[in-house]
Amino acid sequence: MSVKIFIDGQEGTTGLKILERFENRNDIEIIRISEELRKDKAERKRLINMSDYTFLCLPDAAAIESVSLAENDHVRIIDASTAHRTNPAWAYGFPELSAAHREKIENSSRVAVPGCYASGFNALVYPLVSSGVMQADFPVCAFATSGYSGAGKKAIAQYEDENRDPQLSSPRFYALSQTHKHLPEMQAVSGLSCKPMFNPMICDYFSGMVVAVPVQTRLLNKKYGIKDIHKVFAEHYSGQNFIQVAEIGGTDIISDGFLASNTLSGTNKMQIFVCGNDEQVLLCSRLDNLGKGASGAAVQCLNIMMGIDETTGLIQTGDFS
């Protein structure tokens, strides 16, 4: 028997990607809203309450409104917006962070899908803080590159316009005032007591991202070398379907010394790199901002909530096991 799925915001970038991932699945039934009623509150309410699971692929205010429309106790909501990611009543949709995160996703009726940058950041910082290797007040700085799809439909149109501004060919830093919308989530989930500095940049390619966190090991609680730090990640993510920890320096994956940002586009993979030396360690996570950073993570959460194999509809040829 199939479960009924409604995607509120099905025409957005994330909504369309979720639909793509459902194309070959026969265990779900998609409830579609007609084009002319996409913003009709009464129709959205009807479909939300008809569904077993509703995905919210909406701006924050609209997502909050949609949650208020759910009146049936059986409706389980997976929200891809920023609105509920730091709400303790909601499960945070990153099952690889801990067994407790996975269990809460499995049992919750409300799951918040992590932000793309926050996924890469928390994958790096959470294991260090939770293990005690990094103190909660460590002065964390993070840098990131992302494809332009992460900025939404308007940015996609700008980047793909043949008469576009020449400056779009160059990587562009943004959120310079340290007010990026993922910062509260990055701090709350990672376990940091101080807000990290975050410097993202949007680049001239469609999708994929790298998040980098440099660590001066002399500032840690005690002396840890690069092998110690690598061991934390190797043990933390051992046996995970979608997260791969590379060998020290990434030598088993990177052949030319360059870490490209778009390598994992189209997948739900994430790769973790621990590079540098005993004094200076560079941590990097690589993922698809539209995959493990959005639609892939949302579908993975759905699978866990349904009690089925979390890889259903997500494993592509070439994925690591």
Q: How far is CA 186 from the centre of its chain?
A: 11
The rounded distance, in Å, linking the Cα atoms of 153 and 287 is 20
Q: Are 102 and 76 in contact (CB under 8 A)?
A: no
C-alpha closest to that of 242 among 299, 190, 283, 200: 299
φ, ψ (nearest 5 deg) of residue 206: -75, -55
Assigned token pair, 295: 């639609």
**Exposed e or buried b per residue across 137-147, where buried means at least 16 C-beta atoms within 10 angstroms of its C-beta:** ebebebbbbbb
275 is catalytic: no
User: Which amino acid is it at 309?
Assistant: D
Selected catalytic residue, list 57, 116, 203, 275: 116
Neighbours of 78 (CB within 10 A): 26
The rounded distance, in Å, linking the Cα atoms of 314 and 5 is 17
* Beta-carbon contacts of residue 167 (< 8 Å; ≥ 6 apart): none
Give the residue numbers annotated as catalytic, written as ranges.
116
